[in-house]
Structure 1
């Protein structure tokens, strides 16, 4: 056995230079160096935090992606962007942010490196046609224009368009066939449910649909776009149908029995029509670009008549939408 050498400590006194006080960080290092288990615990904690933020594939957590996205958008807009929710959607994080009173969905790749306005699937069973025909301002004429507004049920931009189009539909009545095509549910189950409800009302109660659409924009969307639940959507939709004299039992039975079929048909129609965002206005088979207000929609539709009805002479609200964009 080797004997430990004794160490003699000599205390040296300095008259003019008092001993320096140890900095707090040095005290911590000395304390850690004397206890291996503390060091091991700290290292393990650091590794654990790393695994919570980023997995082995290089992906970051949903919350990290949401905060990173909000920080980036705030640098671009000057501030005011807040995260409402975040959820995984295929190979992306769908992050809903609030900006100037509007809820806007944006997407980031799961590694947090790229911001995407709207992922476009390229593996659908029915591919988007390769028709390079540009969007036109004026549609072909017909005796009774066929008008389709393609939307996601809870897309804020689609809702901005749906309200003014409801005003035009109520003005023109049966002289034009104006429909909503709710073709995508990127916000989740509550949006999928609303898409089916609107499709079923158009099937069962077409004359009352646009009153429902106006009520949805004014009353249901402001509440349920915040709660983001199927319960809110169902409760508020049922109450609105009752107010308008729509048989909610029949509508909900249609949702259960025909909802999937109607939703699939809407998706296929959007795909074959070259629709790439919500809202998209299509008149007599041609995508039309116009301002999103009642007067602009009326003008675009009335230009598509062979003989426009007298209602086309009425002037509607031309107030611009608060924001122009697409889901």
Structure 2
């Protein structure tokens, strides 16, 4: 769900997730290794005749702008055009995905996966502003916006932070609701938080948004419940009843019910997940259409939602932030967006 604004003609069918972004898991592992060994020093990788300084500089820029989260910076330590590494290319298959890998001919170096920088940058250039979107939106007097997330998904949290100022602006003009994916990728704590947020929103949308504004930054549910002045007894009662009705804890304890034996299910809003073929966190549905908004900025979210009005309200003329919130918990901004948990 990532790089350009478009209506998804058909979202990926998800009774269970069909892919797990192994490419980025491998990449992350390699980046972590790099951090704790060379501090992202660039030295002799895939150098047969010596890459130009411009290419090396571009590679470092690519790492900073496309791969690293806000607050992390890769810097060039040194280059070594003397060490010439010849490699052989081969393919590996993991599950239903194939990856181009490389090994040095002397067997000393292994590169499990290659990032096609030119393709990634080309997709980034293809991003369009919401005003340039040519797909016709389904319109209504009061649009319905459903944001599906997993409560501990870094990119779901990013999308929630992006949506909060849009909610503040359009809460009287549109129905903006946070929904939850029908499986959890971040353990029991995510199931518990999903239940908590579901009940908070069911009880009071305004108090829920106050709680959420705190939670997406601090990640401290107890503190945020106090800040939002939540009736704990009423909340606990709703959580217990919802848990029992949808067998959230029971299914967690019964791993036979888990998706692919890996992820516990969360069936509280399963009917909506199936209706919209929700493909992961985040997924945005506007007036029954699954849409992809990129980059994730409050202004982009607002502009796209405003296209769904029969007659745009005056609030749509206001300009919101054009910065992308950082993924996961915390304040601040990120250099790029587009990731998902699926």
Q: What is the CA-CA distance between 1:145 and the residue it aligns to?
A: 0.4
Q: What is the CA-CA distance between 1:114 and the residue it aligns to?
A: 2.6
Structure 2 counterpart of 1:203:
202
| Bigger helix share | 1
Classify 1:260/1:218 alpha carbon distance in 2 versus 1 (closer, same or farther; 3 Å). Answer: farther
**Aligned residues of 1:148 and 1:181 also touching (Cα < 8 A):** yes
Classify 1:71/1:175 alpha carbon distance in 2 versus 1 (closer, same or farther; 3 Å). Answer: closer
Q: What SS does the aligned partner of 2:178 have?
A: strand
Structure 2 counterpart of 1:265:
268
Q: What is the CA-CA distance between 1:166 and the residue it aligns to?
A: 1.1
Pairing partner for 1:114 from 94, 100, 103: 94
Hey, what's the Cα distance between the residues in 1 that align with 2:194 and 2:36? Answer: 28
Hey, what's the Cα distance between the residues in 1 that align with 2:323 and 2:244? Answer: 36
Q: Does 1:158 align with 2:156?
A: yes
Pairing partner for 2:289 from 286, 289, 296: 286
Q: Does 1:296 align with 2:276?
A: no
Q: What is the CA-CA distance between 1:101 and the residue it aligns to?
A: 6.4
Hey, what's the Cα distance between the residues in 2 that align with 1:255 and 1:200? Answer: 6
Q: Give 5+ residue unaligned stretches, structure 2.
A: 1-23, 38-66, 72-91, 98-133, 247-265, 326-333
Q: What is the CA-CA distance between 1:268 and the residue it aligns to?
A: 2.8
**Aligned residues of 2:150 and 2:180 also touching (Cα < 8 A):** yes
Structure 2 counterpart of 1:326:
340
Hey, what's the Cα distance between the residues in 2 that align with 1:318 and 1:304? Answer: 20
**Aligned residues of 1:70 and 1:81 also touching (Cα < 8 A):** no
**Aligned residues of 1:74 and 1:80 also touching (Cα < 8 A):** no
Q: What is the CA-CA distance between 1:271 and the residue it aligns to?
A: 2.1
Classify 1:81/1:218 alpha carbon distance in 2 versus 1 (closer, same or farther; 3 Å). Answer: farther
Q: What SS does the aligned partner of 2:171 have?
A: helix
Structure 2 counterpart of 1:213:
212
Hey, what's the Cα distance between the residues in 2 that align with 1:138 and 1:162? Answer: 25
Q: What is the CA-CA distance between 1:210 and the residue it aligns to?
A: 1.6
Q: Does 1:241 align with 2:225?
A: yes
Map 1:55-94; keep pairs closer than 5 Å.
Answer: 73-75=28-30, 79-80=34-35
How many residues are paired up?
Answer: 204
Hey, what's the Cα distance between the residues in 1 that align with 2:227 and 2:96? Answer: 40
- Structure 1 residue runs of 4+, over 3 Å off? 69-82, 98-102, 259-263
Q: What SS does the aligned partner of 1:207 have?
A: helix
Classify 1:240/1:77 alpha carbon distance in 2 versus 1 (closer, same or farther; 3 Å). Answer: closer
Q: What is the CA-CA distance between 1:320 and the residue it aligns to?
A: 2.8
Q: What TM-score, normalized to structure 2?
A: 0.53
Classify 1:239/1:320 alpha carbon distance in 2 versus 1 (closer, same or farther; 3 Å). Answer: closer
Q: What is the CA-CA distance between 1:76 and the residue it aligns to?
A: 7.5
Q: What is the CA-CA distance between 1:211 and the residue it aligns to?
A: 1.8
Q: Which has the higher contact order (CA 8 A, sep 6+)?
A: 2
What is the root-mean-square deviation of aligned Cα atoms in Å? 3.3
